[in-house]
Amino acid sequence: MPSPSREEGEKRGPSSPLPVPPGLPVAGDLHQQVASCTRCPLHEHRKQAVFGLIHPGSPWMFIGEGPGAEEDARGLPFVGPAGRLLDGMLSALGLERGPQVSIANVVKCRPPHNRTPSDHECTTCLPFLRQQITQVRPRILVLLGKVAARTLLDSPLPMARLRSTAHLFEDIPTIVTWHPAYLLRTPAEKAGAWADLCHARRLLNEST
């Protein structure tokens, strides 16, 4: 998960409007559906749902686990320490947040104390993510961490096995790599994560 947890602040009611980040393309009412969702207990503790940064047509799409404390406060994905590392990873690929890169999470509300989201929470939120992927239709998907990998690939395999090969998610080439939060705790794995990203770049270039 992103940054370390802190005590919960004031709750944001499920009917409260979610501000749209500047420049975010919104298709239909999906953004508002996410903002007002009460399908699982995660909504009870959120300040706001974190829709993500969705750019239809972007070739890259990165998918993480769920919002942390800073994301919950700001309504944007990957803005804590893990987000800063993700930005560095993007920069190493010659990318930056914007029209070329979409970013989303499996669950849109912060799990209390940044715990790992349950299978039920992931399954409940998955239809939103599927719609986001459909809106973007990226040429490469990068799944950050085991929650994203196991949810989208429906696989119980360990990360070592998931990272060792390319996958397809609804005909989209898909690569699994470590979550940036894990890399902050285990910097020795950064070289392997970079190899995964280079693999993703090769797959994208081959699809051109």
Q: Tell me how far apart the terminal alpha carbons of the chain are, to the nearest angstrom.
A: 33
- What is the distance between the alpha carbons of residues 129 and 106, in angstroms, rounded to a whole number? 6
Give 102-118 pLDDT, tens digit per residue: 999 999 999 998 899 99
- What is the distance between the alpha carbons of residues 35 and 201, in angstroms, rounded to a whole number? 33
Q: Who's near 141: CB < 8 A, 6+ residues apart?
A: 61, 63, 133, 152, 169, 172, 173, 174, 175
- CA-to-CA separations, 31 to 25, 27, 36, 115, 188, in angstroms, rounded: 10, 8, 9, 24, 38
- What is the distance between the alpha carbons of residues 205 and 57, in angstroms, rounded to a whole number? 16
Give 147-185 pLDDT, tens digit per residue: 999 999 998 899 999 998 999 999 999 999 999 999 999
Superfamily of domain 30-206: Uracil-DNA glycosylase-like domain (3.40.470.10)
The three-class DSSP label of residue 173 is strand
Q: Where are the domains of the chain?
A: 30-206
Q: Beginning with the edge strand found earlier in the chain, give each strand of the sheet holding 167-169 in spatial order.
A: 101-105, 60-64, 140-144, 172-177, 167-169
Average pLDDT of the chain to the nearest whole number: 87
DSSP state of 3: S
Taking the chain (208 residues) in consecutive chunks of 10 residues, what is each chunk's mean pLDDT? 34 33 52 93 94 97 96 95 96 96 97 93 96 97 97 92 94 97 97 97 89
CB atoms near residue 178 (< 10 Å): 19
The structure's pTM equals: 0.85
